[in-house]
Structure 1
Amino acid sequence: MKKTTVLLAGTALTMASFSSLAAEEVNVYSYRQPFLVEPMFESFTKDTGVKVNVVFAKKGLDERLVREGKYSPADVVLPTDISQMVKLVEKGVTQPVQSDAINKSIPEQYRDPNGHWYALTLRIRNIYSAKRNGKPEDISYEDLAKPEFKGKVCTRSGKHPYNLSLVSSMIAYKGEQQTKAWLEGVKANLARRPQGNDRAQVKAIKEGVCDYSLGNSYYFGQMMKRDDQREWAESVYINFPNQGNRGANGNVSGMVMAKHAPNKANAQTLMEYLAGEKAQSVYAEVNMEYPINKSVPVSKTVAAWGDFKAEDMSLVQIAANQAKAQKLIDEVQFDH
């Protein structure tokens, strides 16, 4: 009996230890690519001792969370844009997070008033232009629809979250009718059907397919770091649109807490860490994105691109126009 008791006690102690160790983890579902977020996770684990387990995917994480329901292991989800964050909330797979630390780090403009989502980084939707034509003194999103740009514009799919957010912003400023006319004008000016990613558009400029393209700011820095893509970046100017009026449109990466997070405390700790100065500095230096935390400076590389004026519109307003933007893009058959 004594041996059995000792064995059971030892087993219970061992199981308790394993349970304690297992609790020191957090599970992340990420739409963001590994090289963009793994540096933050490594830093977080080093500082806190909490292990980060990650599932990476390009799409379908919202459906997966719905399918998994209350048995989902996900604690935190990292979307690449406001449209994905809104979709997660609409599908009922998020829960609100109330954190003074996060609210202190992230300006009100970039967070859900109910705490369901928070932005982490800002990427400006720049207009790239061919150096062979000289740097434009001023350029706007509206210019891309003007007749003189006929056959000179390249872009990825209008339905991609980055472009969807731009159209949503345009609706907020211009209304649906003017935005539809703008989409029709841009479509008429395309040098080819929308295809590829943002980098592919810069490559097309280098190859003479077009002279202008839409592209996120951090891709410029990423291309400059790669031997096989540096020539693409060196062939273009990176321009901040609409500096004479409302400012340049920005889209965001962000974070939400999963509805059934099994490691809720660790999940909130990770979210606070990602919004904090250390992780935001990594976002700035490694990813060449604009930190959402205003106390963190941009990298020297990004600073060299120049100062700019950004839109001051709340993400809540942009999110409210997502369905309208999708509808207009379909109506003008932008991708066809």
Structure 2
Amino acid sequence: MMKKHIALVALVCAAGTAAMAQDQVLNIYSARHYATDEALYSNFTKATGIKLNRVDADDAGIVARLKAEGSASPADIILLVDASRLWRGEVDGLFLPIQSRVLDDAIPAQLRGKPTTNGAIPWFGFSTRARVIVYDKAHVKKEDVDTYEELGDPKNKGKLCIRSGSHPYNLSLFGAVTEHLGEAAAEQWLKGMVNNMARAPKGGDTDQIKAVASGECGVAVTNSYYLARLMRSSTPEDRTVVERVGVVFPNQASWGTHVNIAGGAVAKYSKNKANAIKFLEYLASPVAQEHFANGNNEWPAAKGVKINNPALQAMTGGSFKSETIPISVVGMNQVKVQQMLDRVGFK
């Protein structure tokens, strides 16, 4: 009888140990596929002992996978790199709203999801990237492209290069402009941009910058961190590109420059909620926020974090005015924006 009791105790202890070990692992579905983030993850594991298993995909792939897996999903943390995707994940109920004083104190209200009735937040932004305008310094005047509205002005006919209008980065920008201008004026603006294109939309943001430098376009739109990468590059080709283009943070005299965000949430069916919250709180810490700035040329989302990135400082002179409309509003506008894009023939 005593042997059976000892065996039972051993079995219970082993099960408990296994459960504890399982609790020390977080499964992350990440749209952040930046090599520089490896240090971010490894530092968390060193500090906490919690191992991180990562599944990398783009935003759309992650959302589709979560929907397909349902309650069987092993995901604990969701990391996405676009405001409209975060909003969509919130609306589709893919996130588990959480309460965290650490995150509430660190992350500004406009960079979070909509609070539930009990004050829980579905997602938090952890870094921002400005949607800036680059222009050919030899042939375009800065004052002709220092607002988003001027991208659709006839004075810039035949000069504009831009990636697909349906790309999430542009959907977010267009959703923000729609909020500022109203739907009718925004549609006319989009039509003006179509009329001003130097070529059909194609490629990514770096391709737009290089097209300006080569003379194919006079002006283009890009996320700031793509330009910062070129500015920090040591290759002669990249240095030549940077020398030929100027950069504008649009609408400094009005509503401010549009910023997109990368953010995170606890997955709806996470089995490790406490550790998942701990990871999100880590992403809001000064050490992690500095990593976003120095590792991937993004601006920190947390309040009061100073950065030491020469490219970001050179671009802005130290600071810039950003818009403050809630991300949820930008997300809600994306359906009407897509309809406008279809009507004006913006591919």
TM over 0.5: yes
State the distance in 1 between where 2:27 and 2:240 align: 39
CA shift digits 1:18-47 (9 cap, x unpaired):
331221011111111132533321121111
Correspondence for 1:62: 63
Alignment correspondent of 1:198: 205
SS in 2 for 1:35: coil
Task: Give the match's secondary structure for 2:130.
Answer: strand
Which of 335, 342, 347 does residue 323 from structure 1 map onto?
Answer: 335
Is 1:165 the counterpart of 2:169? The answer is no
Distance in 2 of aligned mates of 1:219 and 1:34: 12
| 2:109 alignment counterpart | 108
Match of 1:240 in 2: 249
Question: Residue in 2 aligned with 1:272?
Answer: 281
**Unpaired segments ≥5 residues, structure 1:** none
Kindly state the Cα deviation for residue 169 of structure 1 after the two structures are TM-superposed: 0.8
**Following the alignment from structure 2 to structure 1, what is the Cα–Cα distance between the partners of residues 90 and 182?**
25
For 2:264 and 2:61, the matched residues in 1 are separated by 16
Q: Deviations over 1:278-311 (max 9, x none)?
A: 2111111111111111211133311222232111
Percentage of pairs with the same residue = 37
1:176-187 matches, within 5 Å, as: 176-187=183-194
CA–CA distance in 2 between the matches of 1:327 and 1:49? 48
The answer to whether the Cα contact below 8 Å between 1:289 and 1:298 also exists between their aligned partners in 2 is no
Residue aligning to 2:34:
34
Q: Tell me, in whole angstroms, the C-alpha distance in 1 between the residues paired with 2:243 and 2:6.
A: 71
Say what the alpha-carbon RMSD is for the aligned residues: 1.9
How far has the Cα of 1:9 moved from its partner? 4.8
Evaluate the alpha carbon distance shift between residue 134 and residue 167 of structure 1 in structure 2; reply closer, same or farther with a 3 A threshold: closer
Give the match for residue 75 of structure 1: 76
- Tell me the TM-score normalized by structure 1: 0.94
Distance 1:42 1:82 in 2: 26
**1-structure distance, mates of 2:36, 2:338:** 27
Q: Is the 8 A contact 2:293 2:309 kept in 1?
A: no
The residue identity in structure 2 corresponding to 1:103 is: D
Which one of the candidate residues 260, 283, 297 is aligned to 2:292?
283
Distance in 2 between the 1:327 and 1:36 partners? Answer: 37
Cα separation, 1, equivalents of 2:11 and 2:242: 60
SS at 1:133 equivalent: coil
Aligned counterpart, 2:149: 142
Q: 1:113 to 1:93 in 2, by over 3 A?
A: closer
Structure 2: gaps (5+ residues): 116-120
Could you list the per-position Cα deviations for residues 24-82 of structure 1 after superposition, in whole angstroms to 9, with x for gaps in the alignment? 01111111113253332112111111111111002321111111111101111111111
1:259 maps onto 2:265 in alignment:
no
My pick for the range that moved more, 282-291 or 315-324, is: 315-324
Give how far 1:3 is off: 6.5
Moved more, 172-181 or 274-283: 274-283
User: C-alpha separation between the residues in 2 aligned to 1:27 and 1:147?
Assistant: 50
Give the C-alpha shift of residue 133 in structure 1: 2.9
> Amino acid of the residue matched to residue 25 of structure 1?
V
CA contact (8 A) 2:76 2:267 kept: yes
Q: Given residue 341 of structure 2, which amino acid in structure 1 is its aligned partner?
A: I
Equivalent of 2:134 in 128, 131, 144:
128
The range that moved more, 8-17 or 212-221, is 8-17
Question: Which residue is 1:249 aligned to?
Answer: 258
Do 2:88 and 2:331's aligned partners in 1 also have CA atoms closer than 8 Å? no
How far does the alpha carbon of each residue in 1:174-211 deviate from its partner, in whole angstroms, 9 at most, with x for none?
A: 01111000001001111111111100101111221101
CA distance in 2 between counterparts of 1:126 and 1:23 reads: 42
| Superposed displacement of residue 236, structure 1 | 1.2
Q: Which amino acid aligns with 1:296?
A: V
Deviations 1:60-112 (A, max 9, x none): 21111111111101111111111111111222211211111101000111112
SS where residue 53 of structure 2 aligns? strand
Q: Given the two structures, how large is their TM-score scaled by the length of structure 2?
A: 0.91
State the one-letter code of the partner of 1:97.
I
Of the structure 1 ranges 153-162 and 38-47, higher mean CA displacement relative to structure 2 is found in 38-47
Assess if the C-alpha contact under 8 Å between 1:284 and 1:297 holds in 2: no
Q: Which moved more, 1:75-84 or 1:219-228?
A: 219-228
The answer as to whether partners of 1:29 and 1:55 remain within 8 angstroms in 2 is yes
Q: Partner of 1:120: helix, strand, or coil?
A: strand
